[in-house]
Amino acid sequence: MSAFDVVVIGAGPGGYIAAIRAAQLGKKVACVDAWVDAKGNAKPGGTCTNVGCIPSKALLQSSEHYEQAKEHFEEHGIEVGSVKLHLDKLIGRKNTVVSQNNEGIKFLFKKNKITFISGKASFAAKNADGTYAINVEGKDAQSLTATHVIVATGSAPRALPNLPFDEKQILSNTGALDIDKVPKTLGVIGAGVIGLELGSVWRRLGAQVTILEAAPTFLFAADEAVAKEAQKLLTKQGLEIEVGVKIGEISQTAKAVTVPYTTAKGEEKTLKVEKLIVSIGRVPYTDGLNADSVGLKLDERGFIVVDDECRTNLPNVWAVGDVVRGPMLAHKAEEEGVAVAERIAGQHGHVNFATIPAVIYTTPEMAWVGQTEKQLKEAGRAIKVGSFPFMANGRARALGDTSGFVKIIADANTDEVLGVHIIGPMASELIAEAVTIMEFKGAAEDIARICHAHPTLSEAVKEAALAVDKRTLNM
C-alpha cells in the first residue's frame, strides 16, 4: 500500500492544480482520475478539458471563422469563393485541442513528481492513526494511504425529469460537442452559459436554433444593461430566444423531439426539432465516492459540506470546485485548489469570492465581476455609473466589431469600483484589469489615470472609468 501526504481525487482544474501546488510545497502527492477515452487511455483535465471549457471554445473559434469567411470577409476586400464546411475536420480539430491539453497535464504531473493514477478512487476507511485508506478501481487499481485528501470530483449535467441523456437526440454538453451532422433544427433548454455558447456554435454552422428559458428574464445573473444588449444582439444573429416558458412533457421519435411549452403570455406552443440540448445546470458528482464509509457530510443537494476554507467535517479532508458551494467555474476551482494546498502546508491560502469573474464566450463576449447595478441599488448603496460603447473605440472599428460597451459602477462617496460589466469583443480578456483593480479595492479614478496603449480595446475600460466622473475624452 502506497502512502502519500496528499491524495487528490479528481484531475479537473481544481484537482490537478491542487496536486501541483502541493507538490511545489514539498508534499508527496498522488492524483487519481477516472476519465478515460474509448481505448482506456487516461484523459486528465475533468469536464473542463474533455467536454467543457476547452472543446467548446475550440468549436466556438472554428464556427466563428466559418461565419466570418461566409459573411464578413468581403468587407475586408477578401474574396474566397464558395465556403464549404467539413464538419469531421472541425470536430477533429476540437479533439486534437483536447488531447493536447490532456497530454499537457500529464507532463505537468511528471515535471512536479506527482504520482498520477488512472482509476476511480473512493474512501475505504479512516485509519487509527488519522490517515485515510483510499481504494482505486480501474486501470491502475491499488490501495493508498493519505494523510490529507482533497476531493475534486466536479459535477455532472442535470437531466430533465423522465428524460435521460442519450447523447444522440437528447444531448448534454457532452453530446452537443460531437454532433456528426449539422441539424436543420436544434432546440436548447436553458439560456445559460452552455446553452448560449453551444447554441451559437450550431447556429453559425447552419442550424435553426431555438432557446427556451424558464426564468422570467434573460441572463438574470448579469447586469440588466448587459442582458438587454445581449438578447438584442444574439436575436439579431438568428438565435430564437424565449424566456419565462414552462416546459411540458417532451416526447421523441427516431427523427424528432417534440417540446410542448407555455409562453410567458400563456400561449401554448410546440417546438419540434431534430436534436435537443438540455442545459439546465449541473449537479455535484459524488457517486462512488463512498462518503458514508468515513462519515463525509453532504448537504441536501449532494454538495460536500465545507467551511470558508474548504475543510469538510472530517479532519484533513478537503473539497474544492464544483462539488462544493459557490459558482461552478474552472477558475474558482483552481483558486480553491491552490488555497487548500497552501493551507495543508501551513500557509494562508486565499480566495476572494467577490472578485471571481464570470464569462460567456458568445459573439459578442460577455464578462463581469462584482455586483450589478440592481443589486447595489437594492442594498441601498449610493453609486455612480460610467459607460462607454465600443462603437467609439478605434481598435473595435478596425476589428470590425463595435457591438457592446463597458460599464463601471463605483461607490458614490469613495469611488471604489464595485462592479464592472462588459459586452463586446474580447470581454473575457478585458475583465482581468477590473478584477485586479477590485482585488486591491481600487477606484474608478485609478483606472482612469492608468495609461492604456492606443489603439486597444482596453481603452474602452479607461473611458468607462472616466465616464464615472462624466469626463470621457472620446465620446
Residue 92 marked as a ligand binder: no
Q: What's the rounded Cα separation, in Å, for the pair 437 and 300?
A: 37
Q: Establish whether 191 is an annotated binding residue.
A: yes
CA 150/CA 342 separation, integer angstroms: 12
Query: Read out DSSP for 180-208?
Result: SS--SEEEEE--SHHHHHHHHHHHHTT-E
Q: Is 64 annotated as a binding residue?
A: no
**What is the end-to-end Cα distance of the chain in Å, rounded?**
68
Contact 219, 231 (CB under 8 A): yes
**What cell does 312 get?**
469538510
Any residues with CB less than 8 A from the CB of 444 and at least 6 apart, and which? 384, 386, 408, 410, 415, 417, 465, 468, 469
Question: Amino acid letter at 347?
Answer: Q
Q: 197: annotated binding-site residue?
A: yes
Q: Is 322 annotated as a binding residue?
A: yes
Q: Is 155 annotated as a binding residue?
A: yes
DSSP-derived 3-state class of residue 353: helix
Residue 330 among known ligand-binding residues: yes
281 is in an annotated binding site: yes
Find the length of the chain.
475
The reply, when asked if residue 192 is annotated as ligand binding, is yes
Measured distance CA(439)–CA(424) in Å, rounded: 23
Long-range contacts formed by 97-103: CB under 8 A, 24+ apart: 97/54, 97/55, 97/58, 98/43, 98/45, 98/49, 98/50, 98/54, 98/55, 98/58, 101/45, 101/49, 101/54, 102/42, 102/43, 102/44, 102/45, 102/49, 102/50
**Catalytic: which of 65, 72, 350, 454?**
454
CA proximity to 8, closest of 283, 293, 48, 27 = 27
Is 195 labeled as ligand-binding? yes
Is 153 annotated as ligand-binding?
yes
Closest CA to 343 of 303, 305, 315: 315
Which stretches of 253-354 are assigned E, i.e. beta strand? 257-262, 268-273, 275-278, 282-284, 317-319
- The answer to whether the annotation marks 45 as part of a ligand binding site is no
Q: Is 251 annotated as a binding residue?
A: no
Report the SS3 class of residue 309.
coil
Residue 475 annotated as part of some ligand binding site:
no
Rounded distance, CA 13 to CA 90, Å?
A: 25
Grid-cell match 455612480, residue found: 384
On whether 329 is known to bind a ligand per the annotation, the reply is yes
The verdict on whether 454 is a catalytic residue reads yes
Place of cell 440592481: 374
Bridge partners (DSSP) of residue 360 are 366
Q: Which residues are catalytic?
A: 454
Known binding positions: 57, 153-155, 190-197, 213, 281, 322, 328-331
Known binding positions for FAD: 57, 153-155, 322, 328-331
Known binding positions for NAD(+): 190-197, 213, 281
